Structure 1
Amino acid sequence: MKKHLNTLFVTTQGAYLSKEGETVVVKVEKEVRLRVPVHTLGGIVCFGNVGCSPYLMGFCAEKSVCISFLSEHGRFLARVQGPVSGNVLLRREQYRRADDPKFSADMARHILTGKIANCRTVLQRALRDHEEKIDAENLRQTVSHLGRCLTALGRGNSLDNLRGIEGDAAHRYFSVFSELILMQKDAFPFDERNRRPPLDPVNCLLSFAYTLLVHDIRSALESVGLDPSVGYLHRDRPGRPGLALDLMEEFRPFIVDRLVLSLINLRKVQEKGFKKSESGAVLMYDETRRTLLVSYQERKQEEILHPFLGEKITVGLLFHIQAMLLARFLRGDLDGYPPFIYK
């Protein structure tokens, strides 16, 4: 079993990372702010004006610690990693299957089953825990509609058909998402999902957290030898990690959506932690970003019972386990890919 390791997020502008022995050293204005042993890290994510020494990059590549560079507001720029691991036969099988329309549709069906089922569970939990505070009838109708979408997935025989079902399910899910915001409703209005750029604080939080999720899933896929760029639901596009986006679908509701709702409802983030640019895009201030990063890391440390393995694991290991199950499916060791469905 892969050990659950932390991700080091560096958000302080002007920070510089270097190597000292077996540790990663973070300096700001030539003053040491942090020392982290490299064996405790699974990855490093640098936001904005953050520098790294060439020696550290080579050291991290040798130790299989990926370094990712994002813009200050979370847009992916580049990553530094060591030699790709994994059996070339596994990747060849991945590529062959991606060229098969029927297999791609079957794989997309597994992925979307996990996503829609988990969206449904998020709404069902809200009904169970907060029925008196929300428009319960509207949520019940949406839960029933998502159930019909799950049934429709079984009849879908093409990627276009499955994407249509997924689009309908996502629209209905996000149409009631504001009902799950129980506190600070005036400060955090939500009408619809929007991105590039996000136009309100809720979408800003969701988009940023989805970026973190893609980073972790991409690393998990590479760790088992799969190519994160070649997906089944998300088809090939230069610069897009299609398979990472595929696998992310089943984790969106369970990890990111619930995390964002908790941050708002527990008042860990507030309206003053956001700003609107001249273009209309809503951005986070540094303190809000740090709060989200810390909460995301804490979420990954929580324990759950994996529905397929029947074992207790940390949330952060889910990405590696699902990547491993996908690799086993492609090798022919499993009859199907078991998506993560949280109960």
Structure 2
Amino acid sequence: MKKLLNTVYITTEGASLRKDGENLVAEVDGAERARVPFHMLSSLVIFGAIYISPALIGACAASGITIVLLDRAGRFQARVEGPVSGNVLLRRAQYRVSDAPAEIVRSLVVGKIANQRAVLMRALRDHGEAFAVERTAAIESAVDRLAYIIARVERKDHSADTMRGSEGEAANLYFSVFDDLILSPSPDLRWRGRSRRPPLDPINAVLSFLYALLTHDCRSAAEAVGLDPAVGFLHRDRPGRPSLALDLMEELRPVLADRLALSLINRQQLHASDFVTEDSGAVRIKDDARKVVLTAWQERKKDERVHPFLDEKAPLGLVPYLQAQMLARHLRGDIDAYPPWFWK
């Protein structure tokens, strides 16, 4: 079974990483802060200016440990890995299906919208009594409209492009009421619409950070089962973009990322003072607050839910790997369709 906590996140700028025997050693100002055996690692995620020794890079490549480099804001910069092994027949099937991806696109879009709808319904159940009438009405209207879009996407006469349009429509609707889910009284912690590169407010900064972490996990999951992370179905191919990882991420981010961001804000684990606005207008999370987010992210991945297709409990952190396996089984012809993961 894939270990869930075998990803090490390095967030202290100025830290240095080196190899000592069969161990990763992290040092700050010359003092050893952590030591982890290579056999317990599958990947390193490094934020900002951190030194990595050439010997460590070589050892990670030889041991199949991926090094992911992100900037201080969590944006992807580079990925260092050794020789990639994979099932050539599986990848050939993936490439063929990517030319006519309508059925897989349908599953991905239905899964994403259903989970967005579940997030809104959960907010009504948990906080509906505290919401103003107007807020409740707006969320209920969005829930009903998302149900209509799901029913439309499930019809078999829609092309992949039409379903991509429906996915965009659902995303706009979902985020139009996202501010209604925020309970913090701080005027600086409000939702003003999605902004990506760069994020222009604290909520978007948290979402972008969490999406970067989830994309990393989904890319690792795709590679773990022998799929090509660059060739997707919902997301079109583009040089340098891990389209399949973004596909796998879509149905998971409402639950793993969006709900976590809301919880951190609503429980006042993050405050307006935890963010910095750069001269460019970009908003980034301060280092200490980023550690709070990472800790919450790892704890969130431990939560267990029943997988709707396998009918077995699984930690949320394992879901990207299970979904990648389901996709590989479908591409091989072992199952008739790709089963999306529904949060309940």
**Are 1:46 and 1:68, in contact at CA under 8 Å, matched by a contact in 2?**
yes
Q: Which residues of structure 2 form unaligned runs of 5+?
A: none
* Corresponding residue to 2:116 among 115, 119, 141: 119
Deviations 1:92-141 (A, max 9, x none): 111111122xxx12111110111000000001111111112222111111
Displaced runs of 4+ in structure 1, greater than 4 A? Answer: none
Q: Which residues of structure 1 form unaligned runs of 5+?
A: none
1:253 is the counterpart of 2:227: no
Which whole-Å CA distance do the structure 1 matches of 2:289 and 2:16 have between them? Answer: 22
Partner letter of residue 170 of structure 1? Answer: A
**Are 2:5 and 2:298, in contact at CA under 8 Å, matched by a contact in 1?**
no
The structural deviation recorded for 1:249 is 0.3
Deviations 1:176-216 (A, max 9, x none): 11111112342311121111111110011001110010011
CA RMSD, 1 decimal: 1.2
Which has the larger displacement, 213-222 or 298-307? 298-307
**Are 1:6 and 1:297, in contact at CA under 8 Å, matched by a contact in 2?**
no
Tell me which residue corresponds to 2:335: 334
Which whole-Å CA distance do the structure 1 matches of 2:62 and 2:328 have between them? Answer: 24
**Are 2:110 and 2:154, in contact at CA under 8 Å, matched by a contact in 1?**
no
Partner letter of residue 78 of structure 1? Answer: A
Which whole-Å CA distance do the structure 2 matches of 1:110 and 1:255 have between them? Answer: 18
Which has the larger displacement, 109-118 or 163-172? 163-172
The structural deviation recorded for 1:159 is 2.3
Which whole-Å CA distance do the structure 1 matches of 2:162 and 2:54 have between them? Answer: 48
Q: Percent identity?
A: 53
Which whole-Å CA distance do the structure 2 matches of 1:334 and 1:57 have between them? Answer: 39
| 1:299 partner SS | helix
| 1:150 partner SS | helix
1:146 is the counterpart of 2:143: no
Tell me which residue corresponds to 1:239: 240
Which whole-Å CA distance do the structure 1 matches of 2:186 and 2:159 have between them? Answer: 40
Which whole-Å CA distance do the structure 2 matches of 1:9 and 1:332 have between them? Answer: 37
Which whole-Å CA distance do the structure 1 matches of 2:84 and 2:273 have between them? Answer: 43
Which has the larger displacement, 145-154 or 125-134? 125-134
Which whole-Å CA distance do the structure 2 matches of 1:322 and 1:205 have between them? Answer: 25
Deviations 1:127-186 (A, max 9, x none): 111112222111111100000010110235222211211111111111111111112342
| 2:42 partner SS | strand
Partner letter of residue 168 of structure 2? Answer: G
Tell me which residue corresponds to 2:38: 38
Which whole-Å CA distance do the structure 2 matches of 1:275 and 1:5 have between them? Answer: 29
**Are 1:108 and 1:233, in contact at CA under 8 Å, matched by a contact in 2?**
yes
Tell me which residue corresponds to 2:68: 68
Partner letter of residue 8 of structure 1? Answer: V
**Are 2:19 and 2:55, in contact at CA under 8 Å, matched by a contact in 1?**
yes
